[in-house]
Amino acid sequence: MTTNPLSVALFAAAQAMGFLLLAPLLRGLIKKMKAAFQLRQGPRFSQPYSDLRKLLRKEPVRSTTASWVFVAGPRVYFASAVVATTLVPAVLASAPLERAGGILLLVGLLALGRFALATAALDTGSPFGGMGASREMTVGALAEPALILALFTAGLSAGTLNLGELVRRTAERGTSIHPSDLLAAAALFIVLLAEAGRVPVDNPATHLELTMIHEAMVLEYSGADLALVEWASAVKELLFMTLLAGLFLPVGVATSVTPEALAISSLALLAKIFGLALLVVLVESTNAKLRFFRVPELMAVALGLGFLALAMRFF
Amino acid sequence: MSEESLLPLGLALHATGVALALVLRRQPAACRWVAFVASLCGSLTSFALGASVLASGRPVRGVLFANTAAGLSVGYTVDPLSAWFLVTLAVLAAPLALYSVGYLAHAIPPGRTAFVGMAWNVLLLSVEMVFAADGVLGFLVAWELMSLATAALVATDHESRPSRRSAYLFLVMSHLGTGCLVAGFFLLAQAGGSLAFADLLGGSASPGALRGLVFVLFLVGFGVKAGMVPLHIWLPEAHPAAPSNVSALMSGGLINAGLYGLVRVGAGGLGRPDPHWGMAVLLLGSVSAVLGVLYALGETDLKRLLAFSTIENGGIALMAFGAGMMGLAAGHPGTAALGVVAGLYHVLNHAAFKGLLFLGAGGVVASTGTRRIEELGGLVHRMPRTAGLFLLGSAAIAGLPLLNGFASEWLVFQALLRGFFSAERLTRIVLPLGGALLALTSALAAACFVKAFALTFLARPRSRAAAEARESPALLLVPQAFLALACVGLGLFPGLVVRVLGGVAAALPGIGPKPALAGGLAGVSVGVPAFDQLSPFVLVPAALVALGLAAAIGFMTARERRRAPTWGCGGELTAEAEYTATAFAKPLVTVFRDIYRPTREVSTVETAPYFASEVRYRSQIGAPFERLVYEPAARAVLAAAGRLRIIQAGSLHAYLAYVLVLGVMLLWWLGGLP
């Protein structure tokens, strides 16, 4: 697409802003739908925004044991999530910074965020931080092969690992869906549940030390530090959904910059995200959280699906 | 000064270091400076030679020693591949020399300074000669000298039994490997009719039906040095036993000797490789990478952890070489070049970050006197600079963008995936599976180095030694800063590295100048049309802006910040309540229990009125290779030796009779030949 540095920068800034502004809404939407499932009223759609505003106004309390690593953690986590949004095609069939790298760079940036936060969690000397960090790295290590294999299947069938190019080629191919795509998408969805800390892997609504993963890791954070973590986690979840939609369901994605195309593409993207959110709600509402040592089995299922997708596509 | 005189000059500098260390053995301080400054100068010389060969692409040849009467001459050839390994060694050895001056002052008894200085220089001299040798004779002599000097350094602390045992194990495994190499070269020389590498490993010598056997012998011989599973058992014993500067050189520099040999032999050296050779190397590499990182994760000794991670990184390089060999076998020089480039890039990166991490660990050991992570903690407050540098090294080895580990692992992924398109239909599924294993490896490495850094440096000190630690002096920190800079630079300019390595790959027999990857200041691109590309500088501004945004959000919104003790659920939180390294790795040890085979005992020592007041917990990870492979083998060898003792009766008459019988048999055999 365009290579003019100014327009690339503007495009990147716009896309990152879009993700930052809409990510809390996705959280609110999922909460609302979950409440509806349980015949509750639930909080307002805008509740996550209010939470962020509240957290940003509060003074952060930091442990006397902690060092600069504790402060750097959430900032690196936030920055890595924001930069990752510029590598994924969303409304347009191209990513702002797609020239920087493709699938592997995206996975690397997410790993960087996890590394930073897990390291920082161990800084206060609280056993909760260690517990959360240890579990988060475990789930991350098990999810990564499945994630890579599912993404490789998509990349190898399109003949590129560049996400922009990948979406363009998939969009050209039209709506014909290869059965292997379904399997790879299912694998990626399972990884999405793990990475976003959703039931059955983790429960974002709990504060019971024996069950929580992500929440235990960030237990010592407060104020703006916590706001950055929460916000970045929401961005990461939206990012995964956008990626899933773009790779396996490229209907209506804008291949040219015209007002109509952009409008259609935006609506299509919102609809796809809504669909995925509904799916997440269905899974969360009908499943119990897995015992921690059953999570590897779920990840093995995702890995197996990715492998089957690959085998089906090429043999 | 001409290029031809650089290698002899470098070797002479190391030899001078040996001689002067011997002369000044009674003055430890002077001896340290002289020996390691000589080593530094030698490394700079070999760096200059390597860099000039890499820049021009023309090999440099010369003769080191010639005796016309005996018809014996030992020469050297520094071609681009040798030059790359010389540069890699120098990038590590130069800062190490400086570090050694400061480190050895406290790490070893003063009386042993001359010994370490001499063995160190002999070691570097022999490794440089291994990379530069142009014939079997010079190579094997240098190879053996390298093993002996290493064994001497491993046994520096020879009063301790574990050190002696490590050195012994190292020697046994080394000789197993050297034996295989000698056999391989014999078979090859029989077919080639010469002892010069140009004739033997130029891709034209054909040992015919024995080709497969020769390759297996070389794979074992070089695999021992490269720490390839299942030949790795010496590595986690020997690397940590030596002083930390030597550990860094062994991990970052010596395993490269094995990898160098495998590239020489595998990448066209024996002609076009068979398809299953590449597959075998890929498989062994994957197993080494995954097992190496798993054992590193289960380790609580900081230096042993780093040694296991060396097995992992050697495995990653082997995976790349295996993918390249599969490409070469399938007739795709582009894929072959990609594999070789990725592997060689990773070798240099590993030298940089593993050197950095071992030096940091050395500083911690020197300051606290312990290598056990469980007894450390809280060092970030006492040793802030060491902590920062160690964190950078941890991030680099975990393959995080935009540091060097990410760049080379990115290329290894590309080699595996591009290989997918060129390999044969049925076998190619192993390549993306290798990719999944590499992803698992790098994610486990991230977990492992979160543990290595955070539990060593963060939270509260878990022992008095850790609470009273002091920052390392500048002489120890400057070399670490240099290696850290290398980690950042090699990560930000992958294009330049790839351009240099493209020339190295193109000079190998059978690969030829067919670039499937292009590199420049802007970055790397793989495949035509682009299959994938990596341009760090597109991302750097975005990363800086995003970090700035995060910092601004935190800074602008909070009017005040408060410090308070970590909440301890109502009780007082002590260092005992902290997560330990064992606890951190516990979930993954449980998940992979079929590999670890952990054993554990829990016993209640004391029971106060209602609760157990003291509980003893002991857990250990099994060592399956020792138990299932090496112990039975050692028992079999000992049993066979016991039986053979019958003929060694200690009677002179019997021995004379043996000589007579042997002489008669030889005469009979020789006479019986046509």
ipTM: 0.96
Cβ-Cβ contacts under 8 Å between A and B: the total is 271
How far apart (Å, rounded) are the C-alpha atoms in residues A305 and A49?
A: 37
CA B549, B551, B552: angle at the middle one, nearest 5? Answer: 65
Does a structural domain hold residue B253?
Answer: no
Chain B interface test: which of A15, A83, A291 (most B C-beta within 10 Å): A83
Kindly state whether residues B315 and B431 are assigned to the same domain: yes
pLDDT band at A116 (very low <50, low <70, confident <90, very high): very high
pLDDT of residue B615: 83
Kindly state whether residues B8 and B119 are assigned to the same domain: yes
pLDDT band at A1 (very low <50, low <70, confident <90, very high): low
Does a structural domain hold residue B562?
Answer: no
Does a structural domain hold residue B128?
Answer: yes
pLDDT of residue A79: 97
Instruction: Calculate Rg over the CA atoms of chain B.
Output: 26
How far apart (Å, rounded) are the C-alpha atoms in residues B199 and B196?
A: 6
Does a structural domain hold residue B591?
Answer: no
Q: A78 near B546, Cβ under 8 Å?
A: yes
Nearest-CA distance B342 → chain A (Å) = 15
Look at residue A28 and tell me whether its pLDDT is greater than 70.
yes
- Measure CB to CB from residue B542 to each of A12, A69, A155 and give the nearest one: A12
Prediction pTM value? 0.95
Kindly state whether residues B292 and B396 are assigned to the same domain: yes
Question: Using the beta-carbon criterion (under 8 Å), do B410 and A104 form an inter-chain contact?
Answer: yes
Arithmetic mean of pLDDT, A119-138: 93
Which region, left, alpha or beta, applies to residue A136 given φ > 0 means left and ψ of -120 to 50 means alpha? alpha
Task: Give the domain-ending residue among B523, B553, B583.
Answer: B553
How far apart (Å, rounded) are the C-alpha atoms in residues B419 and B328?
A: 10
Arithmetic mean of pLDDT, A60-66: 91
Kindly state whether residues B531 and B653 are assigned to the same domain: no
Question: Using the beta-carbon criterion (under 8 Å), do B585 and A228 form an inter-chain contact?
Answer: no
Residues 6+ apart with CB under 8 A from A78: A228, A229, A231, A232, B546, B549, B550, B553
- Measure CB to CB from residue A56 to each of B547, B557, B560 and give the nearest one: B557
Query: Position of tokens 């019971």?
Result: A208
Size of chain A in residues? 315
Task: Give the domain-ending residue among B491, B522, B553.
Answer: B553
Does a structural domain hold residue B565?
Answer: no
- Element spanning B78, H or E: strand B72-78
Kindly state whether residues B537 and B644 are assigned to the same domain: no
| pLDDT < 70 stretches in chain B | 1, 205-207, 512-516, 558-559, 672-674
Chain A interface test: which of B416, B462, B566 (most A C-beta within 10 Å): B566
**Per the omega criterion (within 30 degrees of 0), is the bond before B529 cis?**
yes
Q: Closest Cα partner for B240 from B303, B155, B302, B293?
A: B303
* Helices and strands counted in chain B (H then E): 27, 8
Kindly state whether residues B549 and B628 are assigned to the same domain: no
- Measure CB to CB from residue B564 to each of A63, A112, A160 and give the nearest one: A63
Identify the bridge partners of residue B523 per DSSP, sorted by sequence position: B520
B278-to-A270, B220, B421, B504 alpha-carbon distances in Å: 47, 14, 15, 20
pLDDT of residue B602: 85
- Helix axis angle for B302-329 and B333-368, nearest 10°, is 170
Look at residue A145 and tell me whether its pLDDT is greater than 60.
yes
B42: domain range?
Answer: 1-134
How far apart (Å, rounded) are the C-alpha atoms in residues A271 and A277?
A: 10
Does a structural domain hold residue B511?
Answer: yes
Identify the bridge partners of residue B612 per DSSP, sorted by sequence position: B607
Task: Tokens for B101, please give them.
Answer: 């001056």
Q: A2 near A11, Cβ under 8 Å?
A: yes
Instruction: Tell me the pLDDT tens digit for each residue of A191-212.
Output: 999 999 888 888 877 777 667 8
pLDDT of residue B558: 65
How far apart (Å, rounded) are the C-alpha atoms in residues A291 and B389?
A: 38
Alpha carbon of residue A13 to chain centroid? 19
User: Which residues in chain A have their CB less than 8 angstroms from residue B433's CB?
Assistant: 149, 307
pLDDT of residue B44: 96
Identify the bridge partners of residue B532 per DSSP, sorted by sequence position: B526
The one-letter amino acid at B175: H
Q: B124 near B43, Cβ under 8 Å?
A: yes
Alpha carbon of residue B378 to chain centroid? 29
Give the phi and the psi of residue A249 in degrees, each rounded to 5: -145, 60
Does a structural domain hold residue B431?
Answer: yes
Kindly state whether residues B536 and B629 are assigned to the same domain: no
The Cβ of residue B137 has, within 10 Å, a number of other Cβ atoms equal to 16
pLDDT of residue B269: 82
- Measure CB to CB from residue A135 to each of B401, B436, B587 and give the nearest one: B587
Nearest-CA distance A86 → chain B (Å) = 9
Q: Is the dihedral of CA B394, B400, B404, B409 positive or negative?
A: positive
How far apart (Å, rounded) are the C-alpha atoms in residues B84 and A229?
A: 43
How far apart (Å, rounded) are the C-alpha atoms in residues A230 and A244?
A: 22
How far apart (Å, rounded) are the C-alpha atoms in residues A224 and A229?
A: 9
pLDDT of residue B1: 61
Chain B interface test: which of A134, A139, A293 (most B C-beta within 10 Å): A134
Task: Give the domain-ending residue among B93, B112, B134.
Answer: B134
In three-state secondary structure terms, B178 is helix
- Measure CB to CB from residue A220 to each of B562, B566, B590 and give the nearest one: B566
The residue extents of the domains of chain A are 5-314
Number of domains in chain B: 3
